[in-house]
Amino acid sequence: MSFLVRQRCLFVSRPFCGILRLPRCASFCSSPKWGEGVVTPSFVMTDEKMKRRPFRKVEMRAVQSEAELLEETPIGVKDEETLVRMWQGFGRTEEVPVLVKKLMENTKALEAELGEELKFGGPRGSLKGEAGKTEDRRHRAFYHTLSDSESKLQFFAARQVACRILGSHGYLCEHCWLPTQDCMCEALVKGSLWQNMRLWVYMHPKDFLRKNNTGKLLWQALGDQVQLCVCGIPLHEDAMWAALQQAGRDHVWCVYPAKNEHEITVSKLSAPQGYNEEARETTEDCQLQPLNFIMIDGTWSNSKAMVSRLQERASAVWEGRGMPCLALSPDEFSSIHGLRPQPSMEKTCTAAAAGQLLRELNQTSAFAGHDLDLTADTIDEAVDCLSEALVGRRRRVGRPVTRSRRRDYQSN
């Protein structure tokens, strides 16, 4: 009987705690207090906690609708032009996503509203001070008004990108995403990619503008044949899927160890018509649809959800047929492993995975003869360059050069 009462108290009290928006100094415990045979949920303010964390009056203003969020915000023509240039420098497209632009304008307008300059800090360039608290309250309130998961994802992605761009302007290099004093652009050796091949860096919003991100190396080293697509940004995702649909399903692969019916190895990859050795001479002068390889760029916990998102859209586009996933077979860790320990051999960083993909493709008869191994060497050199730059930065700021290896785990 007592167990039943305790469980009911636990599951009833938590929703009410969220609905009532109790202040953080309120105490809540899953285990109820017992006294004289009466069960009392422990979310009552105590005098001791009131003294330690006094209650503050909180501004309750919140965005009520998407229309209010997207309405014009007076920030000035000069500031608006600056925001556009910021996106074009970091976002790699001329057109600015509507929601990203609006969130950048809303955040920039806080300077005039609060009468203080925006300040950013921390490893992710987060907005600090009263402006950071105000931005967080308003956007969290708006997020909870969204009813469907797609709208929530798009808002989350746009907010991550907008805040990171504002916080990185004038601090990070637009090309290598490193602080300007640690810029590695001059040391980077550039190469080229086979003209009939395209790489898509499908990036999680939280990896956008990360200093130790390796996906950025691909377009730095190989140019415009590598395209950035931030998950949850419709402008990026629609452009990628337009190219994938035009190429066709047999010209599209996702590089990810799926461990399901969609997974194949590179050695078993069948080349589309026109790419096999027999037809190469007759189609040499013809325009072939490019081969599209999607590189998943995010933590392993986030990557699984990103692949599921790709598979859902692929199933809708190609009438229930999913996207094939390529599993790689690397035989060594990447040079950046000391700074970013990977959980297992096959779970390598994005750039190293791209290099491994090109080497394995070069060993097949259908894709040999296009200097893919040389391109892979260029990518490896770029990873080495980034590793050296990160080590130099860590030494400059007095941080350890290596990190302890994380616990290995099995991917589902």
What confidence tens digit (pLDDT) does each residue in 223-282 have?
Answer: 999 999 999 999 999 999 999 999 999 999 999 987 777 788 888 887 777 766 544 554
pLDDT class of 403 with cuts at 50, 70, 90:
low
Same domain? 186 vs 296:
yes
Q: What is the pLDDT of residue 30?
A: 36
| CA angle (157 as vertex; 154, 159 as ends), nearest 5 | 105
Higher pLDDT, 341 or 13: 341
Cβ neighbours of residue 227 closer than 8 Å, sequence gap 6 or more = 92, 198, 199, 200, 201, 219, 239, 240
Segment 178-199 mean pLDDT: 93
Same domain? 89 vs 142:
yes
What confidence tens digit (pLDDT) does each residue in 367-381 have?
Answer: 888 899 999 999 999
What confidence tens digit (pLDDT) does each residue in 92-124 have?
Answer: 888 999 999 999 999 988 988 998 888 888 766
Segment 189-197 mean pLDDT: 93
Which range of residues forms the domain containing residue 355?
180-277+287-397
Give domain status of residue 405, yes or no: no
pLDDT at 406 over 50: no
Same domain? 215 vs 92:
no
Same domain? 347 vs 379:
yes
Same domain? 164 vs 184:
no
Same domain? 230 vs 337:
yes
Give domain status of residue 213, yes or no: yes
> Within 10 A of 104 (CB to CB), how many other CB atoms are there?
28
Residue pair 336/387 in contact (Cβ under 8 Å)? The answer is yes
Same domain? 306 vs 220:
yes
- Partners of 203 in beta bridges: 230, 297
Higher pLDDT, 335 or 203: 203
Same domain? 291 vs 196:
yes
Higher pLDDT, 18 or 385: 385
Give domain status of residue 202, yes or no: yes
Q: Are strands 226-230 and 252-255 parallel, antiparallel or unpaired?
A: unpaired
pLDDT class of 1 with cuts at 50, 70, 90:
very low
Same domain? 193 vs 311:
yes
Give domain status of residue 224, yes or no: yes
Per-residue tokens: 64: 């009520």
Same domain? 220 vs 329:
yes
Q: pTM for this one? A: 0.78
Same domain? 184 vs 164:
no
Cβ neighbours of residue 100 closer than 8 Å, sequence gap 6 or more = 87, 91, 158, 161, 162, 165, 233
Backbone dihedral angles phi then psi of residue 228, each to the nearest 5 degrees: -90, 135
Number of domains in the chain: 3
Segment 342-364 mean pLDDT: 85
Same domain? 114 vs 241:
no
Residue pair 239/245 in contact (Cβ under 8 Å)? The answer is no
Q: What is the pLDDT of residue 339?
A: 65
> Within 10 A of 271 (CB to CB), how many other CB atoms are there?
18
Longest CA–CA span in the chain (Å) reads 91
